[in-house]
Amino acid sequence: MKRRNNYMRPITLLFILGWLVGRPATGQQTLTLSLERTIEIAADSSLQSFRSKNLYLSSYWQYRTYQAGRLPSLSLNLTPASYYRYIAQRYDSQNNIDIYRPQQNYSASGGLMVNQNFDFLGGSFYLQSDLEYLRNFGDTKSTQYSSIPVRVGYYQDLLGYNPFKWEKRIEPLKYEKAKKQLLYELEGVSETATTYFFNLAMAQTEYDIAREFSASADTLYRIGQERLKIASISQADLLTLKLDAINYKNRLKNAEISMKRSMSALAAFLNLDKTTEIRLELPERPRNLEISLDEAIVMARENNPSYLDMRQQVMEAEQSVDKTRKESVFDASFRASVGFNQVSDQFRYAYQDLMRQDIVSVSVSIPLIDWGVRKGKYNMAKNNLIIAQIAARQEEQTVEEDVLMTVSEFNMQQDLIVSAEEAMELAEMAYNETRQRFIIGKADLNSLTLSQQRQQEARQNYISALQNYWLSYFKIRKLTLHDFETGTSLFSLYEYKHGF
């Protein structure tokens, strides 16, 4: 809903007072909603929709973080001040003894590092430049500057496990799932909005029926009083008419309470003022739309985020198996760097006559006795992979069964709506005819009561048929992310409008 802002330029105080006095008092706001408009407001303003969109944004920034990790990173590392005061053990060569001497020093360091991950091998290249200042205090004072103008290096695990390769496979899949999950949740919002809409529609229908029957019961009771005078009905029938009038008044009050409760629930879901009075426009009988079961299953396999979630779980289990298998033997890493460095007691000489600095190291860690810890982790990872694969097949069967049942129900609901509408019209005609016959004394009270019940049941059945139809319709859209009425993909349409 849009709020109106009143912007007023400086005018005379008299005109302001006149405007305030003449302005009508605001009371309870009345809003008329169709099913389409209800869904639009829910998608835009409901807390459920807001939650779904923020969950997607969380996944979006996670994917952006993954993409940023593939780019070079530049970092500045600083240690502005570091002070040490301690007693150190030193060897006195003249006396051939160890002595203890107090030491004090102050140091500061800083450096720049550029890092680039190498996805193909799983290692990292880095470019580094460092400068360190060291000042010693005490009996012997000295100052030193240590510089590394440039150093190029590479770090690589030698196990064969490449985390970057798995990230390259999993992260785009997770983001694709997040996009489709957003549409899935938004269609779920439409489903929930439809439920609230028809709950209120049913409550309003029951209220309207109760109001009509209450007014009719009062009229029939007055007519019964006149007919009793001419002995056209019995005293028992008149008492029954009076009882009906009382019961319908009580029923009207209960129906009003139920309607207000349903109205407040719909307003709260749409994030509107809970005091808003809502009147509904029921959707017309939909046109015939036959959905092919085979096409629905194909669309579900292409678009339903559950399939992507299953793939992600299996892939993550495969990643764990790959990692634990390659780490179950030993750990090994390789590091190499080439650069220059220099040390001087003056800063201006710290970057002159640079010396070559080469570092090559290979480290290996071999478990001799670990009591089967690594083997156990590997076996657990294999079992988890089997569980993930079985769960994926079960979830696939569940989704396809859900699509099958929903499409079958939807195709039947269209015939049910036609039958329910016809039954409602016939029940209305039968009630009016029986009522007129009762007024002129050609129908008994039992026939009138029965026709009232049939009319009420027929109107409620029609509302239920409409609700079931639209719930099935939006559930199919949610399961397949496909609009079968227009033949368009909801994912492609949303991607075009909002630019995924």
Query: Each residue of 285-312: pLDDT tens digit?
Result: 777 788 889 999 999 999 999 999 999 9
Q: Is residue 9 very low, low, confident or very high in pLDDT (cuts 50, 70, 90)?
A: very low
Residue 67 half-sphere exposure toward CB, CA atoms < 13 A: 9
According to the model, what pLDDT value does residue 22 have? 36
Token look-up 């988890």 returns 384
25 has a pLDDT exceeding 80:
no
- Better pLDDT: 239 or 475: 475
15 has a pLDDT exceeding 80:
no
pTM: 0.77
473 has a pLDDT exceeding 60:
yes
* Concatenated DSSP letters of 57-120: HHHHHHHHHHHHHTS-EEEEEEEEEEEEEEEEEEEETTTTEEEEEEEEEEEEEEEEEEEEEETT
Token look-up 């009345």 returns 30
Lowest mean pLDDT among 35-39, 70-74, 285-289: 285-289
According to the model, what pLDDT value does residue 26 have? 44
Q: Which helix (H) or strand (E) holds 298?
A: helix 293-303
The mean pLDDT value for 5-28 works out to: 36
Longest dimension (CA), the chain: 143
The pLDDT > 90 percentage for the chain reads 39
Which tokens go with 346? Answer: 């003056």
The mean pLDDT value for 193-218 works out to: 89
42 has a pLDDT exceeding 80:
yes
Mean pLDDT of the chain: 84
According to the model, what pLDDT value does residue 499 have? 67
Q: Is residue 472 very low, low, confident or very high in pLDDT (cuts 50, 70, 90)?
A: very high
According to the model, what pLDDT value does residue 6 have? 36
318 has a pLDDT exceeding 90:
yes
CA distance 190 to 476: 12
Cβ partners under 8 Å of residue 338, min gap 6: 151, 152, 153, 356, 357, 358
Most confident listed range (244-253, 280-289, 308-317, 327-336):
308-317
- Better pLDDT: 313 or 163: 313
pLDDT one-digit tens code per residue, 154-190: 988 877 788 888 999 999 999 999 999 999 999 999 9
CA distance 479 to 293: 12
The mean pLDDT value for 221-234 works out to: 74
pLDDT one-digit tens code per residue, 402-429: 999 999 999 888 888 888 888 988 988 9
According to the model, what pLDDT value does residue 164 have? 87
According to the model, what pLDDT value does residue 17 have? 31
According to the model, what pLDDT value does residue 84 have? 85
CA distance 185 to 306: 12
- Better pLDDT: 315 or 216: 315
According to the model, what pLDDT value does residue 18 have? 35
370 has a pLDDT exceeding 70:
yes
According to the model, what pLDDT value does residue 98 have? 83
- Better pLDDT: 137 or 78: 78
246 has a pLDDT exceeding 50:
yes
